[in-house]
Structure 1
Amino acid sequence: MRGGGLWQLGRSITRRLAHVDKSAISRRCFASESDLKKTVLYDFHVANGGKMVPFAGWSMPIQYKDSIMDSTLNCRENGSLFDVSHMCGLSLKGKDCIPFLEKLVIADVAGLAPGTGTLTILTNEKGGAIDDSVIAKVTNEHIYLVVNAGCRDKDLAHIEEHMKAFTSKGGDVSWHIHDERSLLALQYFCCIPIAFMGFPLRYTGEDGFEISVPSENAVDLAKAILEKSEGKKQGLLGSRKRRRAEGGFLGAEVILKQIEQGPSIRRVGLFSAGPPARGHSEIQDENGQNLGEITSGGFSPCLKKNIAMGYVKSGSHKSGTKVKLVIRGKSYDGSVTKMPFVPNKYYKRS
């Protein structure tokens, strides 16, 4: 961001948004050639050279004129603006919205300061994960959360089912699904106060903000951010744990037992030779005995090597442990490594 640009950005956004024809834009529409939904930024993506592909029922940009590797490096070195309007934002309100949400997620929502947020997990009765979610505490009686597009239907059904049970016992909570708003994610942005409502987040491994904006203003906001920024481009697609577990969220007994006794498997990062490992590739020890499997993997443009995540048996999770990855029937050398793979550069208040 140019020096002094923040104030100018705030003024220019306010001026532009005051003169928008709000009836001209609707948040979601369907492609004429398919059933794919479009965000209000669809035409903006296409005009800027975005290659549109299906993703979770939406037509989303997978690449612009730059290569995916160049875009990845730019996000790390300068910054990127992402259209994440396909995701589902919703608000929970009422004096009991926090105790209600704490029955569904593992986060210490009550411990969050107003205006802050966290990444969390929606759990089921067995302690398994239904979906991950970003939540933000607006006030003690207003929680904002975002769930993934591909899990929208099951997440909303899950929340609604438990809300009905909660309110039937006198709980004060209601919800609103923000289909009238769009979402922009500004990643690797200097963490200073900004002139519009947004919450800090770090789900790409760098600092940034997720911005909820009325859909009729989303295109102007995206243009203003890009025009007023240097280098930033459009982007692609312990005790507290114990206290929260004892608080009674779904699956708490299972998770509390794992905290006390230790889990049977561990999530690890991996480096590997050969082709990149993909989901469900087998992880073996050096003697060919099964240790677990890969959940996701690919080539890292930043590190110039293959990286992957997976689950292995406890005891085989220490950094430096030598393993074998079975990819398309062939075995390749690999090793366990600490995560994050790329050191972060989070802003820290002095």
Structure 2
Amino acid sequence: MTKTLPLSALHEAASARFGPFAGYSMPISYPLGVMKEHLHTRSDAGLFDISHMSHIEVEGPDAGRFIAHACPYHAGDQAIGTGRYTYMLNETGGMIDDLIVSRLSESGYLVVANGACADKDLAHLKALAADFDVSVRPRPRVFLALQGPKAAEVLSRHLPESGSLTFMQVLVTDASTFVSRSGYTGEDGFEIAIDPGADAVAFAENLANEPEVEWIGLGARDSLRIEAGLPLYGQDMDETVNPLTAGLVWAIPKDLRTDGTFIGAKAIAERVELGADRKRSGLTPEGKAPVRGDALLFDSDSDGAAEIGVVTSGGFGPSCGHPVAIASVDRTFTIGDTVYADVRGRKLACTLQKLPFVPHKYKRGKEQ
């Protein structure tokens, strides 16, 4: 059964076009259209409803030790009031899901997980919790992302305390509202979680009515994150892909890559010793035709060409003015090399490019 977002009525009133995603009926675009929504986020402020994402609270004396067992980082050393990109691994080093984990108190963490993985993530964490003195519980919320160069100015009118945050810092403004300076577009911005109810609706309406703000759907969210070189779980990685191949090993502290105790540590140490057989890369196709996910990559355009990778995400990059893609490519190929994507039986020349396609514009603190 398809789920509906708590703010679905607001999106209907905004004339959203809906489509299925992660088990929800989600706004794909609004009357502005995907191209203009994308560019508006880059120039002003875009408002996204991301309430399909899963919030899981972990609380208890063993919370830090528990998170450090489930995720490959020193969770017990994480500063209160900060978030961290990480993931959960299986015993073979495959990625169960990628996450943002925020530490809210000495004994409390918030796990924000992908909507499509909500049920399996919760079941996984609850099973692990049997060996720790912690509680694991879901917390349904309205979850909004305000992204773009004018996001901070807009949000400060409604949550003045948000202005002091830098990238990946978080705060709880009261018992019902959580704010993180983070996002999925490469732009400066915030993610705001509010307990469901009239206040959440009013807050969303107030943001949407600001002159700098437009509602933005999943179509533009996808092109924004590809330009920013940000992977999507289920496309760019899954339980068969390890962090080295996904280009995400940077999220594991160096000392834990060879000597960790987290789930999958042995497999990661072995993979680090061997090295990744494939690596994540940007891909710029020739011409104006986008190359979509699952397109196979070859080392030449001849009939006997060898398969050397696959496109995992692809589309048109409105900010770049040309097609952009993320690919998993044999490690022997390097930035600047030409590879060939199979597009409906025709091999299209593409150039490997360093990610991201557009620079990240996060507001970083002095120590970051």
For the aligned pair, the TM-score class normalised by the smaller chain equals 0.7 to 0.9
Partner of 2:143: 183
Per-residue deviation, residues 197-234 of structure 1 (Å, max 9, x unmatched): 3012132212222111111021111112233x442211
How many angstroms apart in 2 are the aligned matches of 1:98 and 1:329?
Answer: 51
Q: Which 4+ runs in 1 deviate beyond 4 A?
A: none
Counterparts in 2 of 1:1-350, with a 5 A limit? 35-164=1-130, 166=131, 171-179=132-140, 181-188=141-148, 189-190=151-152, 192-193=163-164, 197-216=178-197, 217-227=199-209, 229-237=210-218, 241-245=253-257, 246-273=259-286, 275-286=289-300, 288-316=305-333, 318-349=334-365
Give the conservation status (yes or no) of the 8 Å contact 1:115–1:199: no
Q: Which amino acid aligns with 1:224?
A: N
Aligned with 1:210: secondary structure?
Answer: strand
How many angstroms apart in 2 are the aligned matches of 1:159 and 1:272?
Answer: 41
How many angstroms apart in 1 are the aligned matches of 2:252 and 2:295?
Answer: 34
Aligned with 1:162: secondary structure?
Answer: helix
Which has the larger displacement, 95-104 or 189-198? Answer: 189-198
Per-residue deviation, residues 209-263 of structure 1 (Å, max 9, x unmatched): 2111111021111112233x44221121269623233231121122223333421
Aligned with 1:126: secondary structure?
Answer: coil
Give the conservation status (yes or no) of the 8 Å contact 1:320–1:335: yes
Give the conservation status (yes or no) of the 8 Å contact 2:285–2:350: yes
Aligned residues: 308
Partner of 1:7: none
Identity %: 33
Q: Which amino acid aligns with 1:192?
A: G
Partner of 2:158: none
Give the conservation status (yes or no) of the 8 Å contact 1:118–1:201: no
Distance 1:225 1:141, change over 3 A: same
Structure 2: gaps spanning 5 or more residues: 153-161, 166-172, 219-249
Partner of 1:29: none
Give the conservation status (yes or no) of the 8 Å contact 1:319–1:336: yes
Give the conservation status (yes or no) of the 8 Å contact 1:323–1:334: yes
Distance 1:176 1:239, change over 3 A: closer
Q: Give the Å deviation of 1:138.
A: 0.6
Aligned with 2:69: secondary structure?
Answer: coil
Give the conservation status (yes or no) of the 8 Å contact 1:107–1:121: no
Give the conservation status (yes or no) of the 8 Å contact 2:183–2:191: no
Q: Give the Å deviation of 1:277.
A: 1.7
Give the conservation status (yes or no) of the 8 Å contact 2:336–2:352: yes
Give the conservation status (yes or no) of the 8 Å contact 2:129–2:136: no
RMSD: 2.0
Q: Which amino acid aligns with 2:324?
A: I
Give the conservation status (yes or no) of the 8 Å contact 1:134–1:145: yes
Per-residue deviation, residues 156-193 of structure 1 (Å, max 9, x unmatched): 121122112x2xxxx211122112x2211122223723
Distance 1:106 1:54, change over 3 A: same
How many angstroms apart in 2 are the aligned matches of 1:36 and 1:240?
Answer: 35
Per-residue deviation, residues 253-277 of structure 1 (Å, max 9, x unmatched): 2222333342111111100025322
Partner of 1:17: none
Q: Give the Å deviation of 1:111.
A: 3.5
Aligned with 1:223: secondary structure?
Answer: helix
Distance 1:203 1:248, change over 3 A: farther
How many angstroms apart in 1 are the aligned matches of 2:118 and 2:194?
Answer: 19
Partner of 1:15: none
TM-score (ref. length: structure 1): 0.83
Q: Larger Cα Rg: Structure 1 or Structure 2?
A: 1
Give the conservation status (yes or no) of the 8 Å contact 2:89–2:97: yes
How many angstroms apart in 2 are the aligned matches of 1:321 and 1:110?
Answer: 42
Aligned with 2:192: secondary structure?
Answer: strand
Aligned with 1:103: secondary structure?
Answer: helix
Q: Which amino acid aligns with 1:93?
A: E
Give the conservation status (yes or no) of the 8 Å contact 1:295–1:311: yes
Which has the larger displacement, 259-268 or 84-93? Answer: 259-268
Aligned with 2:163: secondary structure?
Answer: coil
Aligned with 1:46: secondary structure?
Answer: helix
Distance 1:111 1:206, change over 3 A: farther
Q: Give the Å deviation of 1:76.
A: 1.2
